[in-house]
Amino acid sequence: MADTDELKADARAIFMAGVAAADPHDAVVNALEIHNGEWSEAGKVHVIAAGKGAVPMMRAALETLPAGKIGATLVVTNYENVTEIEGVTVMGASHPLPDRNGAEAAAAVERIASEAATSDLVLCLISGGASALLPAPVEGVTLDEKIATSDLLLKSGADIVAMNTVRKALSRLKGGGLARAISPAQGLALILSDVPGDDLAIIASGPTVADPAPPQKALEIVRDLGIADRLPESVLAHLEKRAAEPVADFVHTTENILIGSNRISLSATENAAHHHGYKPIVLSEWLEGDVQAAAESFHAAAFRASSKGRVAILAGGETSVHVTGSGKGGRNQEMALRFAVLCEASPLPRGWAFLSGGTDGRDGPTDAAGGLVTPKTIAALDAKDLSVDAYLSDNDAYHALDQADALLMTGATGTNVADLQVLLLG
């Protein structure tokens, strides 16, 4: 039977294997090596990288492509991730609400795409966040009006699918607009997913993917959300005009390839668990909902697992926390602490370690990726006469786990494909 330290080390190694599988740099290098025919036959390769992973994705492209083939290069990323790259224009923009720098960046993207020669290839490196970073309002709608609309959507409780459907209806680039600008040149889009189901039309609002929504869908969404009467007049007028139009043909020359996602990372944790001598069981390919319910599902799965041999129960996804307190933490830390509480009340029949972590290395507004708990976690708090119930009621999982030496600290990972969970049974 594995001891606690061994289980903790294995859980961390399995989690980091999932993180490594989503590394934007390596994902781009691997994809370009596999799809070398697309770029080797092109006259020039123009490279556009947009999103939170744009900088490492651009670096990977520059390392892989022959220098003599590279034409125009542009990076658009959030201000926090701006890093200079020699010979490359790097533009910072605002996220989640767009700004004027983003509008200038979007115009620069359009210029590169539309000016590419027929014999050229436009390589698009797309990651999460690119939707807000590249605002390109349709004719008749100002940037300020689009920003106001985005703000209304964010505050309305709209999910990412609904929000991006409306954004696409108001954009020159989203919903396949970039692919239309690229044509008749060739396009190759390498896409890193941060959404459930890895729908290429949803990631970054699908700049190189046809919008599957009918023309009237965006208008229906704003009406259903109850925000239609608060939209700028120009926005509502555009959505109403669009709703009356027939579906337009989508003619393009761009190939779209998914190179990283939560599901790919989850598969990597399965392989790593097997390599470490555990039988992997996937509890959920997209775990969502409240963290308490998620913790309970892991607890129940542990009792269902065979008592023979070592088992790894795995999941990926993005849960949520109903915040009522003023403490510090994130959804992964709270899930880990709640799982430890469940195991204290109803102990598992063998040794265990449970890890819940964000693949970006940052869980909520903290420097921790998540939590890594064992049967010793609650005991450590009890030994200091600290109340775990008080910590949880204040949503203060960070300080509780810190006191129990159970924070998962990885530092920034340079990627983001949501969360991963690893429960090891020794």
Q: Which of 54, 137, 132 is nearest to 96 (CA)?
A: 132
CB proximity list for 144: less than 8 A, separation 6 or greater: none
Tell me, what amino acid is at 46? H
pLDDT band at residue 415 using 50, 70 and 90 as cut-offs = confident
The structure's pTM equals 0.80
pLDDT at 414: 77
Residue-wise pLDDT tens digits, 196-248: 889 999 899 999 999 999 999 999 999 999 999 999 999 999 999 999 999 98
* In the block, residue with structure tokens 């200079």: 84
Lay out the sheet containing 45-50: strands in order across. Answer: 89-93, 70-78, 45-50, 121-126, 186-192, 254-260
Tell me, what amino acid is at 101? N
Which ranges of 200-330 does DSSP label H, i.e. alpha helix?
Answer: 217-224, 233-243, 262-275, 291-304
d(C-alpha 51, C-alpha 90), whole Å: 12
Percent of the chain beyond pLDDT 90? Answer: 84
Strand-pair partners of 290: 320
Main-chain phi, psi angles of 72, to 5 degrees: -75, 145
- Tokens, residue 46: 């123009």
Q: What 3-state DSSP class applies to 350?
A: coil
Strand pairing report for 352-358 and 419-425: antiparallel
Cα 309 to chain centroid distance, Å, stands at: 34
Residue-wise pLDDT tens digits, 55-97: 999 999 999 999 999 999 999 998 988 999 999 999 999 988 8
d(C-alpha 279, C-alpha 256), whole Å: 34
Burial group, residue 384, by CB count within 10 angstroms (0-12, 13-18, 19+)? exposed
Q: Which of 164, 161, 133 is nearest to 50 (CA)?
A: 133
d(C-alpha 200, C-alpha 257), whole Å: 9
Residue-wise pLDDT tens digits, 187-208: 999 999 988 889 999 899 999 9
Residue-wise pLDDT tens digits, 97-119: 889 999 999 999 999 999 999 99
What Å distances lie between residue 402 and 12, 357, 377, 398, 406, CA to CA?
A: 17, 15, 10, 6, 6
Q: What 3-state DSSP class applies to 383?
A: helix
Q: Which helix (H) or strand (E) holds 352?
A: strand 352-358
One DSSP character per residue, 276-310 reads TT-EEEEEEEEEEEEHHHHHHHHHHHHHHS-SSS-
Tally of residues, the chain: 426
d(C-alpha 228, C-alpha 175), whole Å: 21
Say whether pLDDT at 1 is over 60: no
pLDDT at 285: 95
The better pLDDT of the pair 160, 183 is held by 183
Mean pLDDT of the chain: 94
* In the block, residue with structure tokens 């991963």: 420
Strand-pair partners of 122: 46, 187
d(C-alpha 160, C-alpha 195), whole Å: 8
